[in-house]
Structures are given as structure tokens and as C-alpha cells.
Amino acid sequence: MEYMNTAPVASSASAGGPRWLTDEEQRVWRSYIEAATLLEDHLDRQLQRDAGMPHVYYGLLVKLAEAPQRRLRMTELAMSAKITRSRLSHAVARLEKSGWVRREDCPSDKRGQFAVLTEEGQEVLRKHAPGHVSAVRQAVFDRLTPEQQKSLGEIMRIVAEGLQPREAGADLPWLR
């Protein structure tokens, strides 16, 4: 009896026993885990080395850069980046220290805070975007056919949807 993989191997009867993954499903799952691990690691390294920040932080700057006044409420930013507010708080504190983001009080809600991309923040993006795109291209797009790219998009969209926030809850309204 093989127990698991990052999920176990086949051999399911009919009754309530857990539906293990088939061999094929397992191969798929392992490929996913490996690629995801290697990829995130690769991008983290690339950005840490070149831009001095991890991939997630870079993503935050990008979201801000695209937002109306290059600003977003903390909660909005957290939701859009799919991270907890707590994590965001720490992250923004760090980005503030680096001078790439600044906090601003929200006039309409005294509890609220805006995270605002600074000029230096924009500069950092301008400077390192090319390297980052190229890393992404090299690791992913250059290796996939147009059909595969399309497939990947559909698949990931479905998975993401299934895990979306839904209803509220303690510190993580999102993340179920």
C-alpha cells in the first residue's frame, strides 16, 4: 500500500475510502509541484539579485503602478495580490523602508490606508521590468506552443477561481 505522494498512489475500492490519485494524476501533480517550486525560486532569485526584492514584492509594485493614482487601499492590494493583510502590512513596511512605497491616510475612512507607489518605486520598475519579463519568457513562454499557453491560462484560471476568497473570516476573508 503506497500511502502518498505529495498525494498517495492508486488502489481505491468502491466504498468511502479516500480517492487516491491515479499514477497519471500523480505524475501530473508532481510535475506541477516541481515546476512551481523551481519557477518561483528562479524568479525570486532573479529579482532579488537584480532589483533587491522578492517576486511577491515586485508584484505589489506592479499592481500599484497600474492603479488609478498609483495607489490602492491596503485591503484591495492584498486581495488583488492574493495575500493576507498581515503579510501585506509587513511587506509594505519593508517597501516603505526601501523608499518604493509610501503610506497615506484615507480621507473618507480614518482606519484606511493607501499604499502609494513613489517615484523611486516607478523607477525601479522601469529599470528592472525588462530583465524580469525576459526571465519569465525564457522560463515559460518561449518553451510553450501557443496552444499550450492558452491551455495553461484556462487551467490556471479555473484553479484560481476555485480557491478564491468567497465569504469573509478573521484575518483572511480571502483564503477561505
Partner DNA sequence: TGATGGAAGTTGAGAGTTCAAGCAGAATCG
Partner DNA sequence: CGATTCTGCTTGAACTCTCAACTTCCATCA
Cβ atoms within 10 Å of 88's Cβ, excluding its own: 20
Contacts (CB under 8 A) with a copy of itself, residues 64-123? 65-66, 81-83, 122
Measured between alpha carbons, how far is 136 from 43 in angstroms, rounded to an integer?
A: 8
**Residues touching DNA: how many (CB under 7 A)?**
38
Q: Which of 14, 18, 16 is nearest to 1 (CA)?
A: 18
Does 122 engage in binding with DNA (CB under 7 A)? no
Contacts (CB under 8 A) with a copy of itself, residues 20-49? 20-21, 24-25, 27-29, 31-42, 45
* CA dist 9 → 6, 26, 34, 67, 159 (Å): 10, 7, 18, 46, 22
**Which CB atom, from 52 or from 153, has the smaller least distance to DNA?**
52
**Which CB atom, from 35 or from 106, has the smaller least distance to a copy of itself?**
35
Nearby residues of 20 by Cβ (< 8 Å), 6 or more positions away:
7, 8, 9, 10, 11, 12
Contacts (CB under 7 A) with DNA, residues 40-59? 41, 44-45, 48-49, 53-54, 56-57
Contact range with DNA by CB under 7 A, out of 5-13, 15-23, 122-130, 163-171: 163-171
Q: Least separation, in Å, of the C-beta of 18 and a copy of itself?
A: 4
Q: What angle do helix axes 74-81 and 55-66 make, rounded to 10 degrees?
A: 120
The entry of a copy of itself, DNA, none that residue 148 binds, CB within 5 to 8 Å by partner kind: a copy of itself
Measured between alpha carbons, how far is 176 from 173 in angstroms, rounded to an integer?
A: 6
> Per-residue x/- marks for a copy of itself, 113-152, CB under 8 A?
---------x--xx--xx-xxx-xxxxxx-xx---xxxxx
